[in-house]
């Protein structure tokens, strides 16, 4: 699988010379399996440039999943250009917090916050339930795990031909939020991963005053 990070930040997008190394966009990851099928994880502001790339390559079938509903993981959705074209978007979802996958998307375009409503865009959407058993998507097996994070959420393991990528952003290992797992559960979940992306927002010093905010050291 090919993994590309279009946005790697949390909280808000930033710009300026201090942010050239990792870019200024919030969370959006593109995974391409060996058959060429795509899967987008989260629609932070990084999805804007991914949309441009998909338009250039005339991509018509798009798959998406979300880790959770916080702004930095969803707010780019209305700026994802393919949604205004005749494309088919399959969204796999579960209960991330209070909303299902459709509501997560639709709320980013809710008036008066955005001028175009979700019901008015041209793309055709399919919503599939995934929940704890995971799902198969092209050549990828996708397994979720509940995050330890305010308002909940899901982390994921992506497996293709025995190779594993684990994506656990927004996960607090030092405190158990409602619905979250234990440190041992996360260690077990990640144990076969060749690539692990995990929340490491704070230094030990910072964490002393930010415990329970939903992030790790």
Between 70 and 177, name the residue whose CB sits nearer to Zn ion: 70
Count of residues interacting with Zn ion (CB under 5 A): 2
Rounded Cα distance, 62 and 85, in Å: 12
The number of CA neighbours under 13 Å toward the Cβ of 151 is 13
Q: Sign of dihedral through CA atoms 42, 46, 51, 56?
A: negative
Between 96 and 125, name the residue whose CB sits nearer to Zn ion: 96
157 is a site residue for Zn ion (CB under 5 A): no
The CB-of-190 to Zn ion minimum distance in angstroms stands at 19
The CB-of-71 to Zn ion minimum distance in angstroms stands at 8
| Bridge partners of residue 17, in order along the sequence | none
Specify the pairing of strand 140-146 against strand 154-160.
antiparallel
The CB-of-49 to Zn ion minimum distance in angstroms stands at 21
The CB-of-138 to Zn ion minimum distance in angstroms stands at 27
The CB-of-151 to Zn ion minimum distance in angstroms stands at 7
Between 26 and 49, name the residue whose CB sits nearer to Zn ion: 26
Whether 142 and 160 have beta carbons less than 8 Å apart is answered as no
- Choose the stretch contacting Zn ion; rule: CB under 5 A; options: 24-32, 70-78, 176-184, 191-199: 70-78
Rounded Cα distance, 13 and 24, in Å: 5
**Three-point CA angle 40, 42, 48, nearest 5°:** 80
Task: Return the residues of window 159-188 that contact Zn ion according to CB under 5 A.
Answer: 170
Q: Which of 9, 25, 51, 70: binder of Zn ion (CB under 5 A)?
A: 70
- Choose the stretch contacting Zn ion; rule: CB under 5 A; options: 26-34, 69-77, 105-113, 116-124: 69-77
Between 63 and 148, name the residue whose CB sits nearer to Zn ion: 148
Q: Which of 88, 120, 93 lies closest to 104 in space, CA to CA?
A: 93
- Choose the stretch contacting Zn ion; rule: CB under 5 A; options: 48-56, 65-73, 111-119, 173-181: 65-73
Whether 166 and 174 have beta carbons less than 8 Å apart is answered as no
Rounded Cα distance, 186 and 175, in Å: 13
- Choose the stretch contacting Zn ion; rule: CB under 5 A; options: 1-9, 64-72, 123-131, 200-208: 64-72
**Number of residue whose CB is nearest Zn ion:** 70
Q: Which of 94, 95, 78, 73 lies closest to 6 in space, CA to CA?
A: 73
Binding footprint of Zn ion on the chain (CB under 5 A): 70, 170
């Amino acid at each position: 699988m090919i993994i590309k990070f279009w946005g790697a930040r949390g909280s808000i997008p930033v710009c300026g010379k201090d942010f050239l190394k990792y870019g200024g966009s919030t969370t959006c990851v593109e995974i391409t399996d060996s058959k060429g099928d795509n899967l987008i994880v989260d629609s932070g502001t990084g999805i804007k440039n991914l949309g441009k790339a998909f338009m250039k390559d005339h991509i018509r079938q798009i798959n998406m999943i979300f880790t959770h509903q916080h702004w930095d993981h969803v707010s780019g959705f209305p700026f994802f250009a393919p949604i205004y074209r005749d494309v088919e978007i399959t969204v796999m979802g579960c209960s991330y917090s209070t909303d299902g996958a459709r509501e997560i998307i639709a709320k980013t375009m809710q008036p008066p916050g955005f001028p175009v409503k979700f019901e008015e865009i041209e793309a055709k959407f399919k919503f599939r339930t995934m929940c704890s058993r995971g799902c198969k998507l092209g050549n990828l097996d996708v397994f979720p795990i509940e995050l330890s994070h305010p308002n909940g959420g899901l982390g994921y393991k992506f497996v293709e031909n025995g190779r594993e990528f684990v994506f656990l952003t927004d996960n607090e290992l030092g405190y158990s939020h409602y619905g979250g797992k234990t440190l041992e559960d996360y260690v077990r979940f990640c144990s076969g991963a060749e690539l692990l992306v995990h929340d490491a927002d704070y230094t030990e010093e910072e964490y002393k005053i930010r415990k329970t905010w939903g992030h790790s050291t």
